[in-house]
Amino acid sequence: MKKSLFFVMLAALFISVGCGTTQNVGTNLGDAATKAVSNIAPAKEAMQAFKAAKSAFSKYTQDRAGNAGELTNAITSIGTAMLDEGIKGKAAAWLLKGNIFNEVMSDQTGVFSGKYPDAVDQAYEAFKMVSSVGGAKKMELTAATEAFKNISAGFSQKGANLFGAKDFAGAAKAFMKTVTISEEMGIGDDNEDQRNALYNAGLAAMNANDYGIVKIAMSRLLAAGEQKPNIFEGLYKAYKGEDEDKALGFLAKGRAAHPQDNSLLTTEINHYLQAGKLEVLEDKLMMAIEQDPKNKTLYLVSGSMYEKLFNNAYEAKDMAAADASFAKAEEFYNKSIEMDSKYFDAIYSLGALYFNKTTPMRKEMNDLPLSETARYDALKGEVASLMDKALPYFEQADGINSKDYNTIFALKEIYARKDDLTKSNEYKTRLEALSNK
């Protein structure tokens, strides 16, 4: 009995220890199994999502109008499938994703293309991945390659849409994407569509002040034999901040190729006007007016040029030249106003021409000794006369734009000099209100 009891106790002890050991091992195996299942489950779910995307896409393409909802299902399912690394390693999955977003991009109803504005980008990246992941079948590679033609057109449409929405930076990049895809398909700059894409990219980049793209696009067009005026203008603008000689070289080539193009002439005029090279400018302005005699802006710019020449001559005490230039400035400002009686810039400029002429006169009056009464009275009369001439133009300008600081300031000063403090204070109050905004 004792021996039997001993073995019973030993067996119980063994079972107790064994059970403890078995419990620990079982727990560890359970953890490993859980991890294995957790890895298998998403992979299984991803494969199911891939198959669901394939099925939904097939239904959609069989009846796009009747099964529009299936495209939404395809988009959602391929998104789920692509969360799995295994699925992401399959060329077939990337081809399917590319085809799905190609359909989204090509949607004519606007329902899908509006909801997924980056569809063309997603399609492009997906089709590129078909060859990148490896293991693609020949038919899959062929399908992806052929799809690039439509993707190229998609980026072109995206560029046009962004340009219309005034997102010029985005438009330039979209058009350049078209250029890149064409290059990847072996299409060179001798192709008309490729040149059109470059030109559109260049124009959009000019509007966005993205001169990096302007240099690339417009230089390639020039090398390909294109001679459009905007090409030369774009290259001028791209280089004028870093290499003036090179910039002017492009402008000169453009003017030689298009001597009658007013936009290039205007660009050239603005360059010399900003540079203060008035001796070069006068001939170019007269040529521009001869080519475009109804352009009010050209008369305004001419008036501004002659006003600068007047100031230069006045400072040099060449009164004959000063008087001649002043008369020319007056003449051209008036011609601009004749063409547009509501042209604020010209109306203000003519008022300012008279007003500013009084500045050196008023300084001289302040510097005169008390004994120079005759000279003082003469200057005072001339200042008053010029102020009277300026007044109606400033009042007219104020009627067109009541928030222009310079106009209101001039009116305040003129009425103060006319000893009409009530009116002067009205304009002073308006100035203070503008300054506080």
Rounded CA-CA distance 252/262 in Å is: 14
Q: Which two tokens stand for residue 59?
A: 């239904």
pLDDT score recorded for residue 114: 83
Residues of the chain with pLDDT > 70, as a percent, come to 91
Rounded CA-CA distance 89/73 in Å is: 22
Give the mean pLDDT of 204-209. Answer: 97
Strands (E), 189-280: none
* Residue from 402, 426, 398, 401 nearest 412 by CA: 426
Tens of pLDDT, residues 234-291: 999 999 989 999 999 999 999 889 887 878 888 888 888 888 888 788 888 898 898 8
DSSP 113-141: HHH-TTHHHHHHHHHHHHHHSS---HHHH
pTM: 0.65
Sign of the alpha-carbon dihedral angle for 199, 200, 203, 206: negative
Residue 3 has pLDDT above 70, yes or no: no
pLDDT score recorded for residue 207: 97
User: Residue 10, CB half-sphere, CA atoms under 13 Å: how many?
Assistant: 6
Q: Which of 29-43, 113-127, 220-234, 279-293 has the lowest mean pLDDT?
A: 29-43
* Residue from 236, 228, 174, 180 nearest 204 by CA: 174
Burial class from Cβ neighbours inside 10 Å (0-12, 13-18, 19+) for residue 207 reads middle
Write down the residue that tokens 């990246």 correspond to.
125
Q: Which two tokens stand for residue 53?
A: 């995307």
Which H, E and C letters describe 304-340, residue by residue?
HHHHHHHHHHHHCCCHHHHHHHHHHHHHHHHHHHHHC
Highest mean pLDDT among 17-31, 40-54, 97-111: 97-111
Tens of pLDDT, residues 123-160: 999 999 999 998 999 999 999 999 999 999 999 999 99
pLDDT tier at 2 (50, 70, 90 boundaries)?
very low
Write down the residue that tokens 């006319």 correspond to.
418
Q: Give residue 42's identity as a one-letter amino acid code.
A: P
User: Residue 63, CB half-sphere, CA atoms under 13 Å: how many?
Assistant: 4
DSSP one-letter code for 90 = -
Residue 15 has pLDDT above 70, yes or no: no
Tens of pLDDT, residues 79-98: 999 999 999 999 999 999 99
Write down the residue that tokens 């988009």 correspond to.
75
Give the mean pLDDT of 417-431. Answer: 94
Tens of pLDDT, residues 170-182: 999 999 999 999 9
pLDDT score recorded for residue 170: 97
Sign of the alpha-carbon dihedral angle for 366, 367, 373, 376: negative
List of residues 6+ apart from 215 with CB closer than 8 A: 235, 238, 239
Rounded CA-CA distance 7/1 in Å is: 10
pLDDT score recorded for residue 283: 85
Strands (E), 124-185: none
Write down the residue that tokens 């000099």 correspond to.
417
- Maximum distance among all Cα pairs of the chain, rounded to whole angstroms: 152
Tens of pLDDT, residues 359-391: 989 998 999 998 999 999 999 999 999 999 999
List of residues 6+ apart from 417 with CB closer than 8 A: 383, 384, 387
